[in-house]
Structures are given as structure tokens and as C-alpha cells.
A and B are shown apart, each in its own frame.
Chain A
Amino acid sequence: MGMHSFGNRANAFVTFAVTILAVMCSLASLSDNFNVHTPTADVKVFNINWFQKQPNGNDEVSLTLNISADLSSMFTWNTKQVFVFVAAEYETPQNALNQVSLWDGIIPSKEHAKFWIHTTNKYRFIDQGSNLRGKDFNLTLHWHIMPQTGKMFADKIVMTGYRLPEEYR
């Protein structure tokens, strides 16, 4: 087989193409590191709908939230979507940390990244135990930047000062 056979040329071409592709994807991902994030978020508890102890002994609360945020600075040309969720975080005598996701959504593009939503909790807010009466908790808004290719970025804003009612209702 000579130097310039079809096999040799095909091999050289494919190797070169794959290498270039890998380099371009790495550069695309690296460029995301230069993006400056300037997110804003605000979450208000609009209403406590009900607050009960279940038959199995665990507290459960249903609440309605007003969530507003501007995550448009997260989007680069390499961004496929931004996944956003709001979680309640609190401590109990048994558990050093409890994180309960209350609502999540997918932001498909920069145009949808500034939003306001009025919603009851999408996922049930259930304690491991009966510790929620009068409980102080944080609400955190997390975002997860999912790229077309490369590294994913995630961070959050912590909002403090929320408190559940002293009595069931």
C-alpha cells in the first residue's frame, strides 16, 4: 500500500477532523468562563394554604409563592437552557440540613430569562418528622446552566427570614 492510498488518506482526514472538533468544543466551553453572571431574584410567600401533620407523623405544608428573577446574564451562545428551582432549606434536631425543592422550571432562551410566576408548590413540602411549627427557613433560588457542549455551571441566591406558622391550619 502506497503513501497516498485511500485508507491512509481517510485515516488522516478523520483523525484531523475529530481533533479539530474536540478543540472547538473545548474552546466553546472555555469561553463560558469569561461570562459575568449578574442574577437577581426575589421570592415571597404569598400564602400558607394549609399546614397539617400527616397520619405517618410527618409535617406537611402547602404554600403559594411569588417568584421573580432575572437570569438573562447566564446565557451565552453556548447555552442550551438554564434549569431553575426554588428550594426551602432548614435545620431540625434530627437533620443538620433539609433541602426541599418546591418549584422548578426550564428557561429555554435569554428572552424567557426574566420572569415572574405565582404558583403553589410543585413538589410536596414534607418534613422527616414533625418539626415545622414555627420553623425558620431559607428560600434558595438555584440555577443550573446546561451548555450545548462542555462544562455545566451551577450557583444559587439564598434568601433568609421566612417562618412557618406556630400552629397547624
Chain B
Amino acid sequence: MGWIGDSVQSIRSLQIRQLLSQIVTLGTIGALALIIWKVLMCVTGSESPVVVVLSGSMEPGFQRGDILFLQMSKDPIRAGEIVVFHVDGRDIPIVHRVIKVHEQQDTGEVNILTKGDNNFIDDRPLYAQGQLWLQQHHIMGRAVGLFPYVGWVTIIMTEKPILKYLLIGGLGLLFITSKD
């Protein structure tokens, strides 16, 4: 009768080992994704190396759903650059073009005015109350390249969160039930 107990024990330890190895694999994938993101942050010098275009204010150059690649350097912001900035108190990054620059003599500080290519008026109404200009520290990065359509995945998952849960749930289920 001892061999029944032995095989039950070996099956149980096999399942525990399998579960643990799956957890480690999941953790490794997560850590790899994080490492890639952080390396991109270092290489591009920007907090957010990639951003999704959410509005039509830069059409037809940038369409909703495009992905923009960002870089940030210490070089002063100049007219014509497409920059990404946050307005105080708002989460959503805005991607617009710099149309005016005033750089001070002693401090080198810049006052910037931005405007979406497809907008009729400049961005002053978007800035915080009483704020007439953006400064260098408001700028998160400059757009240097684009990849069309791929950002739609993010937009759909943000606007229809149920799809996000379905996707994660589905992936999780697939992972648990896989035998290798």
C-alpha cells in the first residue's frame, strides 16, 4: 500500500513545482518588460519614451491612435518642435507644436507658447489659470518619430475597460491551463 502513498506524494509535489515554475516565469516576463521600459527611459532621456495620440488636434500629421516616440535632451526648446507637456492638475499629456519662444539673457530660461496644428487658436486657454507661457520643466519630451495605428489597442482598452479585464482574464486562463 505504500506505493499509493508514494505516487500521490510525487504527483502533489509535481503540481506544486509546476505552479512555482509558472509563477517564476510570469515574474520574469514582468521584470523583463519593466527593464525594457526603464532602459528606454534612460536612452531617450524622457520620462515617457512612448505616448499615444489621443486627440485630433495635430491632424493630418498625427492621427488618433498613432504612437509617438519621444526624446528629451537638455537642449533648449526651439520653435517648430513638437513637444509633449502636462497641464498642472491634468493627467493627459498634450502633444502640440511650439510656435513662440522667448529665451532670457542671463538665466537662459525659456517662455514657450504651443498650438495644435489643427487648432484655430493657441494653447493659452489650456494652460493653468493665469499662466501665459510654458517653461522647459513642463516639457516631458520632443516627438521624433511615429508608428501609425498601433496605439488603438491602448485607446480601446482605456475607453472600454471591460475589454482590458477580458484580455487579462483570458491570458491568465490560457497561462494556467497550459501544460508546458
Q: Which residues of A contact B (CB under 8 A)?
A: 1, 7, 25, 29, 80-81, 83, 85, 87, 93-101, 104, 106, 108, 123, 128, 142, 144, 146-152, 154, 156
Contact = CB atoms under 8 A, between A and B. Distances in A.
A12 B15 CA distance: 28
Contacts of A104: 99, 117
Interface string B83-123: 00000000000000101111111001001000001000010
Contacts of B179: 1
B61 A83 contact: yes
Contacts of A7: 174
A99 B113 CA distance: 10
A15 to B, nearest CB: 14
B111 A128 contact: yes
Given A83-B117, A95-B103, A108-B60, A101 B79 contact: yes
Contacts of B64: none
A81 to B, nearest CB: 6
Interface residues of B, number: 30
A127 to B, nearest CB: 9
Interface in B126-180: 143-148, 174, 178-180
* Top 7 A-B residue pairs of the complex, sorted by shortest distance between their CB atoms: A99-B79, A101-B99, A146-B61, A99-B101, A97-B103, A151-B145, A142-B80
6 contacts: A1-B179, A85-B99, A97-B102, A104-B117, A146-B61, A146-B146
A119 B175 CA distance: 63
B148 A101 contact: no
B102 A106 contact: no
B146 A106 contact: no
Given A98-B101, A99-B101, A146-B61, 7 more contacts: A83-B61, A94-B104, A96-B103, A97-B103, A99-B78, A99-B79, A104-B117
A31 to B, nearest CB: 14
A150 B60 contact: no
Nearest to A143: B80
B105 A96 contact: yes
A1 B145 contact: no
A154 B101 CA distance: 17
Contacts of B101: 97-99
Given A142-B79, A144-B80, A149 B104 contact: no
B180 A1 contact: yes
B62 to A, nearest CB: 8
Given A1-B178, A142-B80, A25 B147 contact: yes
Given A106-B117, A128-B111, A150-B146, A87 B79 contact: yes
A85 B80 contact: yes
A152 B102 contact: no
B103 A87 contact: no
A100 B144 contact: no
Contacts of B82: 144, 152
A100 B100 contact: yes
A100 B102 CA distance: 8
A147 B146 CA distance: 8
Contacts of B104: 94-96
Give the most central of A108, A148, A152: most B CB within 10 Å.
A152
